[in-house]
Amino acid sequence: MPRTSSRRPYRVGRSRTGLGLFAATAIRKGSFIIRYTGPRITNAEADRRENKYLFELNNRWTIDGKSRGNVARYINHSCRPNAEVYFVGHAIKIRARKNIEAGEEIGYDYGKDHFNAYIKPKGCQCVKCREKRAEGRAAARKARARRAKQRRRKRAS
């Protein structure tokens, strides 16, 4: 397990969607986790860049978080997030929305626009969405088995 310090209650690790940010120690609800860093650029400049780590501050400014020094870029989307974003001036900060256990992946909601443009076409991979799809598949299998059983009974009679 990677070394962590009390200053950094997180670690980068392998996630279902690539790399993700995980709690190295328990993080209490409301606690500051990390700051999303990078140069501030205009939204017009952001539109010209091919970069998936752009974080829009407002209708004028965006943070370009592509630098590997921006560890917050590893936080993945979650439809049931355990973290949330808040702004202090032009600083983007992430805090725990609920208590986060050590080893749990940290995630926040990327917002409707990003979700519809990038995540929805491929299918959301957050824990809640995977569970929901698994339940749907299980229900479909059960319905098929029930119909097959009814057909066998009909043939037997």
Tell whether 4 is covered by a domain. Answer: no
Q: 131 and 93, same structural domain?
A: no
Q: 135 and 114, same structural domain?
A: no
pLDDT for residue 3 is more than 50? no
What is the predicted pLDDT for the residue at 4?
A: 43
Work out whether strand 61-64 and strand 54-56 pair parallel, antiparallel, or are unpaired. antiparallel
Rounded average pLDDT over 61-86: 93
In angstroms, the CA 26 to CA 147 distance is 48
Q: How far is CA 38 from CA 61, 118, 125, in A?
A: 12, 22, 26
In angstroms, the CA 89 to CA 108 distance is 20
Q: 147 and 76, same structural domain?
A: no
Q: 115 and 51, same structural domain?
A: yes
Provide the b/e sequence for 22-52 (b: ≥16 CB within 10 Å): bbbeebeeeeebbebbbeebeeeebeeeeee
pLDDT for residue 71 is more than 90? yes
CA-nearest of 54, 78, 58, 57 to 66 is 54
The 10s digit of each residue's pLDDT in 124-138 is 777 777 677 677 777
Tell whether 1 is covered by a domain. Answer: no
The 10s digit of each residue's pLDDT in 36-51 is 999 999 999 999 988 8
Tell whether 150 is covered by a domain. Answer: yes
Q: 60 and 102, same structural domain?
A: yes
Q: 80 and 99, same structural domain?
A: yes
Q: 22 and 88, same structural domain?
A: yes
Q: 115 and 61, same structural domain?
A: yes
Q: What is the pTM of this model?
A: 0.74
Please give the structure tokens belonging to residue 43: 């939204």
Q: 154 and 100, same structural domain?
A: no
Rounded average pLDDT over 31-40: 95
Give every CB contact of residue 4 below 8 A, 6+ residues apart in sequence. 10, 11, 24, 25
Q: What angle do CA 13, 3, 66 make, to 5 degrees?
A: 45
Domain residues for 29?
A: 10-122
Q: 156 and 79, same structural domain?
A: no
Backbone angles phi, psi at 89, to 5 degrees: 65, -125
Instruction: Place 82 in a pLDDT band, splitting at 50, 70 and 90.
Output: very high
How many domains, the chain?
2
